[in-house]
Amino acid sequence: MAYLTLKNLNKIYPNGFHAVHNFNLEIEKGEFIVFVGSSGCGKSTTLRMIAGLEEISSGEFLINGKRANELGPRQREVAMVFQSYALYPQMTVYDNLAFSLTLQGVDEDVIEKKVEKTAKILGLTEYLDRLPRALSGGQRQRVAVGRAIIRKVGIFLMDEPLSNLDAKQRVTMRSEITQIHKEIGATTIYVTHDQTEAMTMADRIVVMKDGYVQQVGTPHDLYFDPANIFVAGFIGEPPMNFVKGTVEKGRVAFGDQSIDVTKKLGDRAGEWEGKKLILGFRPEAIVLGEQENCHHLHCDVELTEMLGDVTNVYILVGNEQAILKVDPHDAATLGSETKFSIPYKSLYLFDGETEMAIK
C-alpha cells in the first residue's frame, strides 16, 4: 500500500475558481516528489490540501490507506517550509530550532541533543548563538529547514523554499536538501517552478498546468518520454524545438525543408496522411554535418551564444526558428549556412490537434 494516496483531489475556492482538477498520485514512503509548473498552476493549493491547511473540495487524501481529509496539520504529522522562511528575529538560531520542541514540553537535555544533531546535519553548529539578521540568506533558509526536520514527522513539505536565494545559493541549497533527504529519509513533497530543481532533486516529478496533472514520472521518463507538447517544452533548457506541418507522402515539410516521418510512424503512416503533426527535437540531440541513421537538414545561422561549456546556435530551418546546442569549438567553425542531423531516435512526433505524443 502506498504511504500517501491522493485520489481525485479537487479544489474549488469559495469564489468558484477551480484550482485543482482530479489530482491522482500515490507516494511511497521515503520518496522525494517534486510538483513543478508555472506560477498559478495549482502547486501550492495541492500542497496545502496535503498539509491540512486548505480544505479538500472533493476526492480523498489517505495516509497509510486511512482517510485523512478531516485531520488537522498536527495529526497528519507534517512539517512545512515556505518560501518566506519566517524565523523569529529576536531568537538565536538555537532557540529558533528548539522552539517547536519547547512548545511540546520536551525535556531541555533532549532538546539540546536534537538541536546539536540538526545543526550538525545543516552545518549550523557555529552559528547557534547568532540572531537571524546576522546570517546569510542561505544560512537562514537552512535554519528554516532545520526547524522543520527537528521534529520527527512523516511528511516533509516544501513550497518554493529556495526562491528568495540568489542563483549560487540556490545551487548549493539544492544539493544540501537532497543530501538531508538522503540522511533523514522523510517522505518529501517539494514545490517549484524551476525545472532544473525538479530534474536534479526528484525521485519522481509531477508536471502541472492550469490545475491539471500533465505527467508523473522520473526525471528520465519526462526528458526522454514526454507525454505531450507541454511537458516536452517545459523540461530541458533551452527547450525542445518544435516544427508544425502536414503529412504529405510520408513527409512533413516546413519551408524548403522536410522530414520523413514514416520511420517513426511505421504502419500508421497512412492514417496520418493529410493530418497535422508537430515535430520535436532537443537542441542537444543534434549532430553537425550529415550523419548516418539521421534526418538531414540545413539551416541559416542567425546568432551564436557562447556559454563556455556549450554554444547555443540560433538558426532558421525552413523558416522556423530553432536552437542547436553545439560544442564551442565546432560552433566557431560554423558558416552562415550549416548542415545538421537529427538522429532517428531523437525525433519526437506529436499530434498537431491534441498535442499528445505519438509513441
Q: In the complex, what is the shortest distance from the CB of residue 113 to ligand ADP, in angstroms, rounded to a whole number?
A: 36
Residue 344 touches which of Mg ion, ligand ADP, none (Cβ within 5-8 Å per kind):
none
Quick note: the x/- pattern for Mg ion over 23-62, rule CB under 5 A, is: ---------------------x------------------
Neighbours of 324 (CB within 10 A): 27
Question: What's 11-36 look like in SS3?
Answer: EECCCCCEEEEEEEEEECCCCEEEEE
For residue 8, the surrounding DSSP H or E stretch is strand 4-12
The residue (of 17 and 344) whose beta carbon lies closer to ligand ADP is 17
C-beta of residue 275 within 8 angstroms of C-beta of residue 352? yes
Out of 1, 15, 109, 303, the residue judged to bind ligand ADP by CB under 6 A: 15
**DSSP letter string, 175-226:** HHHHHHHHHH--EEEEEES-HHHHHHH-SEEEEEETTEEEEEE-HHHHHHS-
Largest CA-CA distance found in the chain, in angstroms, rounded: 78
Which residue matches cell numbers 523569529? 88
Q: In the complex, what is the shortest distance from the CB of residue 348 to Mg ion, in angstroms, rounded to a whole number?
A: 30
Quick note: the x/- pattern for ligand ADP over 33-72, rule CB under 6 A, is: ----x-xxxxxxx---------------------------
Neighbours of 106 (CB within 10 A): 14
The residue (of 83 and 258) whose beta carbon lies closer to Mg ion is 83
**Cell numbers found for residue 236:** 530541458
Residue 42 touches which of Mg ion, ligand ADP, none (Cβ within 5-8 Å per kind):
ligand ADP
Residue 214 touches which of Mg ion, ligand ADP, none (Cβ within 5-8 Å per kind):
none
The residue (of 122 and 207) whose beta carbon lies closer to ligand ADP is 207
Binding residue count for Mg ion, defined by CB under 5 A: 1
Q: In the complex, what is the shortest distance from the CB of residue 176 to ligand ADP, in angstroms, rounded to a whole number?
A: 23
Which window, 10-18, 89-97, 163-171, 299-307, contacts ligand ADP (CB under 6 A)? Answer: 10-18
The candidate with the shortest Cα–Cα distance to 174, out of 155, 202, 148, is 202
Amino acid identity at 308 = G
Q: Which residues of 327-340 are buried (b: 16+ CB within 10 A; e: fewer)?
A: eeeebeebeeebeb
Q: In the complex, what is the shortest distance from the CB of residue 242 to Mg ion, in angstroms, rounded to a whole number?
A: 28
Q: In the complex, what is the shortest distance from the CB of residue 25 to ligand ADP, in angstroms, rounded to a whole number?
A: 15
Strand partners, 352: none
The residue (of 44 and 241) whose beta carbon lies closer to Mg ion is 44
Q: Is 161 in the site for ligand ADP (CB under 6 A)?
A: no
Q: In the complex, what is the shortest distance from the CB of residue 54 to ligand ADP, in angstroms, rounded to a whole number?
A: 8
**Cell numbers found for residue 89:** 528575529
Chain residues binding ligand ADP by CB under 6 A are 13, 15, 17, 19, 37, 39-45
- Interface contacts to Mg ion, rule CB under 5 A: 44
